Amino acid sequence: MPNGGKLIIRGRKAKDNYVFSFSDTGTGIPEEVKHKIWNPLVTTKAKGVGLGLPICKRIIEAHGGSIALESERGKGTTIIVTVPIEPRKHISNEETCDLCC
Q: What range defines the domain where residue 17 resides? A: 7-84
* 65 assigned to some structural domain: yes
Q: How many domains does the chain have?
A: 1
* 74 assigned to some structural domain: yes
User: What is the 3-class SS of the chain, one letter each residue?
Assistant: CECECCEEEEEEEECCEEEEEEEECCCCCCHHHHCCCCCCCCCCCCCCCCCHHHHHHHHHHHCCCEEEEEEECCCEEEEEEEEECCCCCCCCCCCCCCCCC
* 93 assigned to some structural domain: no
* 2 assigned to some structural domain: no
* 21 assigned to some structural domain: yes
pTM of the full structure: 0.76
* 98 assigned to some structural domain: no
Phi and psi torsions of 37, nearest 5°: -60, -25
* 54 assigned to some structural domain: yes
pLDDT digits (tens, 9 = 90+) for 55-72: 999 999 988 999 999 999
Inform me whether the pLDDT recorded for 53 exceeds 80. yes
| CATH number, position 44 | 3.30.565.10
